[in-house]
Chain A
Amino acid sequence: MVGRGRVGRWRDQAVALGWLVLVWSLLWGNLTWANLVGGLLVGGAVLVFFPLPAVSFGGRLRPWALLVFVARFVVELVSASLHIARIAVQPGYRPRGAIVAVRLRVPTDLNLALTAEVVSLVPGTLILEVDRNSGTLYLHVLDTHGPADLDVARDRTLVVERRIVRAVGSSAELRHLDVTSSEKGTHL
């Protein structure tokens, strides 16, 4: 097991290095040998001097689900922006808010981070605090008009989580999601 863990870590590092080299080349605007070598050196230095806790990618990419996720994300980003822009310029309007806790069903670091990022950009919600141990997100919901809006925000967050797991999660996580949601009797 120890040997496999080492191999996995090396693979994660190699993937990270690949991305850093790509970013470096994009920053320079063209792909030359000098940029490639420079990117390898800079990327290696970043990985050595700024080590991050390993976030292993245990799932697999599902292209169709990923496409659905991106399309829904764009639609929600546009509607969220228009909504905020509208209440920003509406004269004399003071939006009310609320802070709600949402416990995610797949509490892995990667899923927590992705869901937190996306939730901040879709309608009405903003991440306030993350409880990593219990996999709970604390969200600020803007423009609430009553308790019903809080449930809407909660459901919406779980739908976002489901879309992310469908797109990049492992099969086990996806099964877990189906089981828990059918136990609760929610139809997301």
Chain B
Amino acid sequence: MIATVADWLGAACLVAGALLSLAAGIGVLRFPDALSRMHAATKPQVLGVLLLLLGIALRLRSPADLGMILLVAVFQLSTAPVAAQMIARAAYRAGRLDRGLLDADELAERGADGGSAGPA
């Protein structure tokens, strides 16, 4: 009984996660510049992966697999924002952004020689 419920919940999580990952892919493709694309590459993508992992966990249900899945989730959560920041920062410094789409830019106000923070 519980196994059936877990199987169905897992299946629902897998579908939801796949749909979110699809939306993330569409966002990366359709958004106008690199900075907005990074939004699509972090939020729906991370939640999509987490849902997929939850779906897998609900179907596998063995302690060894759960440990591995937990590890993947933690690394996903901690590395996705870092990767997105690195790409966004590189895009900004290389000037690959559409200024017509920006309402404000307080980073430019800091001044070009305001001392780069270095890898923080």
Contacts and interface: CB of A to CB of B under 8 A. Distances in A.
Chains A and B come from one and the same complex:
yes
A26 B65 CA distance: 9
A85 B24 contact: yes
Interface string B74-107: 0001101110110011001000000001111111
A154 B52 CA distance: 32
A127 B92 CA distance: 11
A56 interface: no
Contacts of B85: 116, 120, 126-128
B27, B31, B36, B82, most chain A CB atoms within 10 A: B36
Contact of A126 (B39, B65, B70): B39
A95 B44 contact: no
A89 B104 CA distance: 25
A99 interface: yes
Contact of B20 (A85, A99, A123, A130): A85
Instruction: Categorize the interface residue count of chain A.
Output: 35 or more
B30 A88 contact: yes
Interface in A65-91: 77-78, 80-85, 87-89
A82 to B, nearest CB: 8
B104 A133 contact: no
B64 A29 contact: yes
Interface in B5-40: 20, 23-24, 26-27, 30-32, 35-36, 38-40
A40 interface: no
